[in-house]
Amino acid sequence: MYNSVLQMAVVFAATAIAYISIIEGNPLPVLRKILSEKTFAVYLVIMFGVIGIDVIELNLERVLKSSVTWDFTIPIFRLEGGLTEVLQKVFHNELLTHLTVFFYVFVFPVLVWVAMAVFNRHGNKNMLKKLLLVFVLNYVIALPFYLLFPVNEAWYSGTGVELLIRSVYPAFETQYRSLSGLNNCFPSLHTSLSISVALLSIHSGYKRLALVMSASSAVIVFSTLYLGIHWFADVTGGMVAAMVAVNFAIVWVDGTVPVIARLRQVLNILNKQGEM
């Protein structure tokens, strides 16, 4: 069971090193490159800044609470019925609960960090840019929905779905909840970010990275439903957000579409003029 912050930090670090070892073999060159590469540190700071915006959104949500009085939970439940409850009851197993909690809480953030570390290790700045842009875009897409399209978590909707994560991670509501509102369900960021990393890993051509990230993202998506947190609609929305973010990032960074390439040229010219 996960309780203390120190325990959580140790498990996160061990998971990250294990993933790097599986993908790269020897984790030491990857870790050394992380400590010596300024770009990695800058990107990491930007990502933490984006997560900070998520916290601001939760506070803004409280301010707008009196204005945003609508709730899309019931329409979504009517649309898909008891699918989430059925899935949970069919697969309910103590070992599976422990596994899915581990993937939901620890592997999810590790995927982004490890992908960035691997791209950094190989000096692939092109993929680093795409990963950073995808990370930002996922939040840009999701945050307006969290503010204006409130959907309660499945277990909180009185539909027979249980929050299974509590049995393994008792402190979930006090430690994890500060980063995730009860009605911030659609789209699922766990789904969109994990699938985004998997798609980028496939795009990168690193076969082992692609295999590990794809398998991990599949487990994470399943865990969001099995643990009673998300609806199938949230997962679908997350998949769409991932595809939009990844395709836009690839097009933007590579400049393969004339309109995007021209826009990038104009922005570069404006930046140069601003520096003069």
CA distances, 194 to each of 73, 111, 112, 148, 253 (Å): 24, 7, 8, 24, 20
For residue 76, how many other CB atoms are within 10 A of its CB?
A: 19
Using CA of residue 268, residue 271, residue 275, residue 276, what is the dihedral sign?
positive
Residue 37: closest CA among 124, 101, 107: 124
What one-letter code names the amino acid at 213?
M
Concatenated DSSP letters of 210-252: HHHHHHHHHHHHHHHHHTT---HHHHHHHHHHHHHHHHHHHHH
Does the model's pTM come out above 0.85?
A: yes
**Coil, helix or strand at residue 184:** strand
CA–CA separation, 77 vs 158, rounded Å? Answer: 11
Q: Spell out the domains of the chain, with CATH numbers in brackets.
A: 5-275 (1.20.144)
CA distances, 197 to each of 60, 118, 191, 207, 224 (Å): 28, 12, 10, 13, 17
Both tokens assigned to 227: 């643990």
CA–CA separation, 229 vs 221, rounded Å? Answer: 11
| pLDDT tens digits in sequence order for the chain, 276 residues long | 676 777 888 888 999 999 999 999 989 999 888 888 888 888 888 888 887 777 777 667 666 666 777 788 989 998 888 899 999 999 999 999 999 999 999 999 999 999 999 999 998 999 999 999 999 999 999 988 988 888 999 998 877 899 999 888 887 877 776 667 778 899 999 999 999 999 999 999 899 999 999 999 999 999 999 999 999 999 999 999 999 999 999 988 987 766 666 666 777 777 776 665
- Write a three-state SS string for 77-108: HHHHCCHHHHHHHHHCCHHHHHHHHHHHHHHH
- State the pLDDT at residue 85: 92
